[in-house]
Structure 1
């Protein structure tokens, strides 16, 4: 038996610190590493976010997504049950469904017209017996042996997750109590989809997961966020992690420390990020209508390995990460409100959606930052990034925003799944 594709790549790079406070650049650029990730991460013992039930409310509704780089159909069957099917015909491997979304009674491959029901069962093979006994498939061909590949599916409050692995623990156990709460917090009542954004970024997908787990950058990179007080490093905020460190909540809240608390120790001194006196002519863009029992005004929940649940004020969304290659990935954001929102709240949510996404007033810099790193590390893949804000050692909750400790939590769990022994030299 040969080693899986990419396995040799892991010997090319070292994690010199067991706490993953040093990340080898090659883990972001090496295509062999990317191939191994498809097997051990996205097809491994994790729950991947797939879609919202609100996106496929009726029998026959479907959407096309990707899990890692594997194309998947998520649909609701005639009996209302939910299914996730690899979008690859069992005949010759063509994509079966080509429309991004729709409603159908059957998925039919355009190549040779093999058809599958909404549970993935092969139900139709044209000319299976040939014509008058000539041609066709062998007499012992059994359609039941050639269904579409299925993922295990679980839901939580209308959010759909899938896994390729039979050994993946139940979803609630995988999320743990803190992140089960975060999913149920955001989806505490029925939602309605307001729209989508898609962004293609020419960098490695893990640079984006790093970014999601690095609250330190938000109060330094994002000028709009700093200037108008959405989240400043001197304000109240922090990060929470689960027992494994794999999931992360970056948060900011009303009350607590004031925005000026960091001024005396030179926080923003000497930078162009410290002018707190600029005002918006129309501040309604920043208005927050309290709708959760806590005081969080910004909560970005990163679920290992492909999703982020977003609350920026009253803007709510799920971001799904879709890796294309070692050098490219896509983010698909699904914006939503609640079914009982009135028209004014829906307008407010849509207006505040301008804060996020590829041209967002807050987050447009994230994609550029990822690409800046990806380009700069190309010729020094044996060197390392420094991940020490918040200190070295165990990964724990952080009660301030000047930390990238949660980023190390991601990498510790990543190394576990990939079979990398961090802290040991080759």
Structure 2
């Protein structure tokens, strides 16, 4: 076998989007470090809203949380007037990180390097030795503290979820979410209570994972737990909603609504994910209560580019996707309930947390296939994803879960943002 050589002109041709459009995704888009840098500018610091956390994580004045939007370290802070403010976690003096802990409480935001001190909305209060000593040193006489605060982000709260954006032109949060905002409002009807966290490092590109919760038809095929124990099957009543621009998706399934279908039976007889020999020693993990009264046992909501809200039985969680270079990403799970949950409800949520997360009986497989996929496409030069389940364009597939419509719409929006 002779080694393959690729000329510069051939390489540039390979980095042209396939002519089939949104029904293909070239493998180089996952692996190219230049693409990754462009994503930081055009998407993560562009016209999109990004999840920071929950208002329940910063309940009191001075409470803060550090997190990321793409590669940028950011702060979520509760100010004296009760507002929650997002800002870049970078001192306006020499760029030092202002807050280091994941969570904390402070009367002001203090940079340890040169003692630049900011209020809880990011305004500069004081800079050490700004007037110098004995007539020497100090900052210029025309130095204006108002021009040297932390970089502030537009911040909005919806049903207890805090989002922020670098953009001054992107539409308001709820308008940006469009029809998919219903999935948040349906689920988050009361004040929230944090139950715990879980962070996992996934050795794949962030887009490999972002596609996964938008992929509504893999659940019944990949996940043995879903198919075997009937929590989510293609034979059950289900549906999918996208906003008008296709940026966001929300799909649902109603357990216990089986409909006999010969094609479904023939298909599942060949799936490894259906295993009637498996039994649960403790079946209580399947005992979910229909809290909302609409019969939905699973709802997965995915907001472009890096947020997921899920209801799996009575387990509730957000997933925050954080890129860490083109070949790895972090997935931060925040498990929650409601402030007025009784002890029995809280225990049910805690038991069913075992379905999700980095070691969850369902979700562990999602990270595994993302890593497998990335290893398989790591050369980054040859080949494309084939995305034609349910059709080839942005509308084909309709509201069916047996479709890759949401993934095609993701790539449509991605290409617009990236000018590809």
Structure 2 match to 1:73: 75
Contact 1:233 1:400 in 2 (8 A): no
Contact 1:300 1:310 in 2 (8 A): yes
Structure 1 match to 2:215: 214
In 2, Cα distance between equivalents of 1:77 and 1:198: 27
Q: How does 1:231-310 map to 2 (within 5 A)?
A: 231-258=232-259, 261=261, 266-276=266-276, 278-310=278-310
Structure 2 match to 1:110: 112
Cα offset, 1:381, TM superposition:
2.3
Cα separation, partners in 2 of 1:271 and 1:256, compared to 1, 3 Å: closer
Cα offset, 1:256, TM superposition:
3.7
Q: How does 1:337-348 map to 2 (within 5 A)?
A: 337-348=337-348
Cα offset, 1:186, TM superposition:
1.7
Structure 1 match to 2:130: 128
Cα offset, 1:92, TM superposition:
0.8
In 2, Cα distance between equivalents of 1:26 and 1:323: 16
Structure 2 match to 1:173: 175
Structure 2 match to 1:226: 227
**Cα deviation per residue 1:15-48 (whole Å; 9 max; x = unaligned)?**
3246511100011001111111111111111111
In 1, Cα distance between equivalents of 2:139 and 2:397: 60
In 2, Cα distance between equivalents of 1:361 and 1:154: 34
Q: How does 1:267-416 map to 2 (within 5 A)?
A: 267-276=267-276, 278-395=278-395, 398-416=398-416
Cα offset, 1:297, TM superposition:
0.6
Structure 1 match to 2:194: 193
Secondary structure, in 3 states, of the residue corresponding to 1:330? strand
- Which structure is higher in RCO with an 8 Å CA cutoff and minimum separation 6? 1
TM-score, with structure 1 as normaliser: 0.92
Structure 1 match to 2:8: none
> Which runs of 5 or more structure 1 residues have no equivalent in the other structure?
1-8, 421-426
Q: Structure 1 residue runs of 4+, over 6 Å off?
A: none
In 2, Cα distance between equivalents of 1:10 and 1:321: 30
Contact 1:19 1:394 in 2 (8 A): no
> Which runs of 5 or more structure 2 residues have no equivalent in the other structure?
1-10
Secondary structure, in 3 states, of the residue corresponding to 1:215? coil
Secondary structure, in 3 states, of the residue corresponding to 2:246? coil
Cα offset, 1:257, TM superposition:
3.4
Q: Over the residues paired in the alignment, what is the CA RMSD in angstroms?
A: 1.8
Cα separation, partners in 2 of 1:295 and 1:38, compared to 1, 3 Å: same
Cα offset, 1:215, TM superposition:
1.6
Cα offset, 1:265, TM superposition:
5.5
Contact 2:28 2:382 in 1 (8 A): yes
Cα separation, partners in 2 of 1:223 and 1:293, compared to 1, 3 Å: same
Secondary structure, in 3 states, of the residue corresponding to 2:297? strand
In 1, Cα distance between equivalents of 2:270 and 2:397: 29
Q: Does 1:26 align with 2:17?
A: no
In 2, Cα distance between equivalents of 1:67 and 1:294: 34
Cα offset, 1:175, TM superposition:
0.8
Stretch deviating more after TM superposition (327-336 or 233-242): 233-242
In 2, Cα distance between equivalents of 1:380 and 1:187: 40
In 1, Cα distance between equivalents of 2:149 and 2:321: 27
Cα offset, 1:49, TM superposition:
1.3
In 1, Cα distance between equivalents of 2:376 and 2:22: 21
Contact 1:62 1:76 in 2 (8 A): yes
Q: Does 1:45 align with 2:34?
A: no
**Cα deviation per residue 1:209-251 (whole Å; 9 max; x = unaligned)?**
1111112221111112221111123333232211111101122
Alignment coverage as a number of residue pairs: 410
Secondary structure, in 3 states, of the residue corresponding to 2:392? coil
Cα offset, 1:350, TM superposition:
0.6
Cα offset, 1:76, TM superposition:
0.6
Cα offset, 1:10, TM superposition:
9.1
Stretch deviating more after TM superposition (28-37 or 389-398): 389-398
Cα offset, 1:202, TM superposition:
1.0
In 1, Cα distance between equivalents of 2:318 and 2:262: 32
In 2, Cα distance between equivalents of 1:397 and 1:239: 10
In 1, Cα distance between equivalents of 2:103 and 2:40: 24
In 1, Cα distance between equivalents of 2:105 and 2:258: 51
**Cα deviation per residue 1:383-405 (whole Å; 9 max; x = unaligned)?**
20111111212335644433222
In 2, Cα distance between equivalents of 1:254 and 1:379: 41
Cα offset, 1:155, TM superposition:
1.2
Secondary structure, in 3 states, of the residue corresponding to 2:25? strand
Stretch deviating more after TM superposition (276-285 or 82-91): 276-285
In 1, Cα distance between equivalents of 2:335 and 2:396: 30
Stretch deviating more after TM superposition (304-313 or 232-241): 232-241
Structure 1 match to 2:203: 202
